[in-house]
């Protein structure tokens, strides 16, 4: 081997060694950054994430939702409607969480209307003779029927928007564990709004012992089912809603109940 070849070979070996060393160095740096990031997340978990362990926070970005709604109403009516709205009406610039929050806002407005006209959950009969007799003493006695129509429409819109947000997230590629948490959190809050709206629409009164059982059922039963479904998802990794469930038939039935009250009045539920 000539001196020139030796020099060339030596330089090539040196370059290769330098390249290998550089690659190893960058790999070690990347690994170190990942370890520091993991340690940082664990540290934040101990100080900020009260309900999440360090392992949960580390694995959170890798979470992927798995679930299905076996409801026939959802599969053949609600889901196709929501998909059509996402494909033809909703622009890509609207964030899925905005859709979720807008739906909850509609229910909050409806709840506040109820709270304004009936803050004490008292029964206001709408029989014309009874109303006229009572209005002689209290002009604000009768409940306006239009507020039940508003509530029924708010429930249907909330249900549609709740089905749209996940489809919008998949359409825009913005699905995330935070979005799922926000969606389910709004559903949990709306469970209380929906129960209160049902109680008012049926004219149930907490002061009457015969109504108290129905009120407790309407308050506790939806929250209990929601908790059990989420508990099951925690252990199985999938949220499977049965053929009849709250988000589909429950909300739709509540909307029909409110619209029925708007049509025939609260007295209908007190005489059936």
- Active centre residues (catalytic): 184
The secondary structure of 123-182, three-state, reads CCCCCHHHHHHHHCCCCCCCCCCHHHHHHHHHHHHHHHHHHHHHHHHHHHCCCCHHHHHH
Contacts of 81 (CB under 8 A, 6+ apart): 160, 163
- The vertex-151 CA angle with 82 and 131, nearest 5°, equals 160
| Residue count of the chain | 272
Distance of CA 161 to the CA centre of its chain: 10
Alpha-carbon distance 10 to 110, whole Å?
Answer: 81
Tokens (6 digits) for 5: 């070849």
């Amino acid at each position: 081997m000539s001196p020139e070849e030796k020099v060339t070979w030596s330089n090539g070996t040196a370059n290769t060694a330098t390249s290998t060393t550089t690659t190893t160095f960058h790999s070690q740096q990347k690994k170190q950054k990942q370890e520091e990031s993991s340690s940082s997340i664990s540290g934040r978990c101990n100080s900020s994430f009260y309900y999440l362990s360090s392992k949960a926070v580390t694995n959170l970005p890798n979470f992927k939702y798995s679930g299905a709604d076996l409801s026939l109403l959802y599969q053949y009516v609600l889901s196709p409607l929501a998909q059509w709205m996402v494909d033809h009406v909703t622009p890509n610039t609207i964030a899925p969480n905005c859709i979720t929050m807008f739906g909850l806002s509609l229910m909050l407005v409806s709840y506040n209307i109820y709270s304004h006209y009936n803050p004490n959950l008292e029964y206001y009969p709408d029989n014309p003779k009874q109303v006229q007799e009572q209005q002689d003493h209290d002009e604000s006695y009768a409940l306006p029927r239009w507020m039940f129509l508003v509530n029924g429409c708010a429930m249907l819109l909330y249900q549609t928007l709740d089905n749209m947000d996940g489809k919008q997230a998949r359409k825009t590629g913005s699905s995330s564990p935070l979005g799922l948490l926000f969606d389910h959190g709004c559903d949990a809050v709306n469970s209380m709004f929906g129960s209160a709206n049902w109680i008012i629409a049926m004219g149930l009164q907490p002061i009457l012992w015969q109504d108290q059982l129905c009120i407790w059922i309407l308050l506790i039963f939806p929250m209990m089912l929601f908790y059990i479904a989420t508990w099951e998802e925690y252990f199985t990794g999938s949220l499977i809603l049965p053929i009849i469930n709250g988000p589909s038939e429950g909300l739709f039935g509540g909307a029909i109940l409110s619209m029925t009250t708007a049509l025939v009045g609260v007295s209908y539920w007190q005489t059936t």
